[in-house]
Structure 1
């Protein structure tokens, strides 16, 4: 018998959980979890998905695109206008690495803790 798995949480390591939660809160509009603190912060989405940010002592951000410190994971965000979304995210504190292997198909940015994430076109 196979059971269905439901993704309920994604947690990212970082040096400053509240700072990274604030970045993603501005990006997604999700609510800051009321028990967030300096060690663990989180955002709650209306459908129950939780995005967590946990403090790791001596956190080392990933090195994109190199693998001396692997990226560990990345998030994809579907957007209608990649250029407009990129401009907004850069203003909010994201960074754009020089290496962009997607051409016009997708865009790679880095969050303030160095995690890569992609902007992909919305499926219409």
Structure 2
């Protein structure tokens, strides 16, 4: 095992509004709330959905390949360097983080879908 699923992150134009829909749909309370992102999580923090503001958002039109679904997966790992070597060996491509930022790195899977490897350092409380 390289890591475990941490969060589903959904791009959207208005995080608070979309989060309200999913709060009702999934019965997950809001645990973080800002103008650029909202996080819903169960009481243990093991089921997390994040809504991320994206400028110029174009909603997906399924199954139109010109307007595909817009979300990515965050995978919690203990060591970014160890996990990076493993995902690169599986065929991932580093998209962001060549300067090795602490806490997360962004990759593309073998067909181009983005995902992030994250560590606890990236989970500092909001102030």
What is the TM-score when the length of structure 1 is the normalising length?
0.52
Equivalences for residues 104-123 of structure 1 within 5 A: none
Q: How many pairs were matched up? A: 71
Q: Distance in 1 between matches of 2:43 and 2:16?
A: 20
Quick one: structure 1 residues 73 and 11, their matched pair in 2 at CA, closer, same or farther if it must change by over 3 Å?
closer
Deviation at 1:67, TM superposition (A): 1.2
Deviation at 1:45, TM superposition (A): 1.6
Give a deviation string over 1:57-102, Cα, whole Å, max 9, x none: 001111112111112459xxxxxxxxxxxxxxxxxxxxxxxxxxxx
- Asked whether 1:43 is paired with 2:50, we answer no
Q: Distance in 2 between matches of 1:73 and 1:10?
A: 7
User: What 5-or-longer segments of structure 1 have no aligned partner?
Assistant: 75-124
Q: Distance in 2 between matches of 1:60 and 1:10?
A: 19
Task: Name whichever structure is richer in strand by fraction.
Answer: 2
Q: Distance in 1 between matches of 2:11 and 2:70?
A: 10
CA contact (8 A) 2:10 2:70 kept: no
Q: Distance in 2 between matches of 1:24 and 1:12?
A: 11
Tell me what 2:24 maps to. Answer: 26
Q: Distance in 2 between matches of 1:15 and 1:54?
A: 8
Tell me what 2:85 maps to. Answer: none
C-alpha RMSD of the superposition: 1.8
Matched residue of 2:50: which SS?
strand
What is the TM-score when the length of structure 2 is the normalising length?
0.51
Matched residue of 2:22: which SS?
helix
Quick one: structure 1 residues 73 and 18, their matched pair in 2 at CA, closer, same or farther if it must change by over 3 Å?
closer
